[in-house]
Chain A
Amino acid sequence: SQTIHQWPATLVQPVGSPLSLECTVEGTSNPNLYWYRQAAGRGLQLLFYSIGIDQISSEVPQNLSASRPQDRQFILSSKKLLLSDSGFYLCAWRILTGREAFFGQGTRLTVV
C-alpha cells in the first residue's frame, strides 16, 4: 500500500533563517506531488505541484520554492523565512490517472 511521510512534524525557526521540509511517498511510481499551506480560517492554499522529476509549477508568488530531485521526493524550501511563512504545511500525492489526493501528517512551522 502507499504511504506518505512528511517531516518534521513541528518546526520553530527565526526570521531570516533557511527552511527545508521534506516529503516522500512509498508504494507508487510517478505520482503527482503537492505542497499546500493551511492558515487558520483560510482553508488550504496550493503552493506548488509537480508532475515529474524537476517539473515544478508554482501557484502563487512567494518566498518559498520547491524541488523534486527524485520521483517520490518533494522538498519545500526557503532561503530566508518571513513571519508570514508561519503556518501548517501539507504534502499530498495523487496517481496520474486517479482523482483524489492523499495527505501527509503536516508540518507546523512557526517563524519567530
Chain B
Amino acid sequence: AQSVTQPDIHITVSEGASLELRCNYSYGATPYLFWYVQSPGQGLQLLLKYFSGDTLVQGIKGFEAEFKRSQSSFNLRKPSVHWSDAAEYFCAVGAGGGSQGNLIFGKGTKLSVKP
C-alpha cells in the first residue's frame, strides 16, 4: 500500500534562510507526487506536482521539489523563506489516474518563520 512519511513535524527557519522539507513515499509503481500548503483554518493549495519527466519541478511562490527515485523522496525546497510562508505543508502520493486516484497524504510539517 502507498504511504507518505514527513519526518519533521515542526521546523523553524529564519526569514531569508533556505528551506528544505522532507518527504519519503512508498509506492510500487511510478508515483504521482504533490506538495500542498495549508494556512491556518484554510483549505489546501497545490504548490507543485510531479508526474514524469524532469525530476526537478517548479511550483508557485518560488518553491521547487526534486524527485529522487533511488531515495523514494520528493523534498520541497525554497532558497529564501518569507514570513508569509509560515504554514503547514503536506506531501501526497497519488494512486494513479482513472476512476480512483485517491491521494494519500503525509501528516504534514508545520513551518514557522522567525523574523
Q: Which residues of B contact A98 (CB under 8 A)?
A: 97
Q: Which residues of B contact A103 (CB under 8 A)?
A: 36, 43-45
Which bucket holds chain B's interface residue count?
A: 20 to 34
Contact of A51 among B9, B100, B104, B108 (CB under 8 A): B100
A101 in the interface, Cβ–Cβ < 8 Å? Answer: yes
Size of chain A's interface in residues, with CB distance under 8 A? 26
Determine whether the beta carbon of B101 is less than 8 Å from that of A41. no
Determine whether the beta carbon of A90 is less than 8 Å from that of B105. no
B42 in the interface, Cβ–Cβ < 8 Å? Answer: yes
**A36-70 to B contact mask, C-beta < 8 Å, 1/0:** 00000111101001010000000100000000000
**B7-42 to A contact mask, C-beta < 8 Å, 1/0:** 001000000000000000000000010101000011
B83 to chain A, nearest CB (A): 22
Determine whether the beta carbon of B105 is less than 8 Å from that of A44. yes
Which residues of A come within 8 Å of B, CB atoms?
A: 6, 32, 34, 41-44, 46, 49, 51, 59, 90, 92, 94, 96-106, 108
Which residues of B come within 8 Å of A, CB atoms?
A: 9, 32, 34, 36, 41-46, 49, 51, 90, 94, 96-108
Given contacts A41-B107, A108-B41, 9 further A-B contacts (CB under 8 A): A41-B9, A44-B105, A46-B102, A46-B103, A97-B97, A98-B97, A100-B34, A103-B45, A105-B42
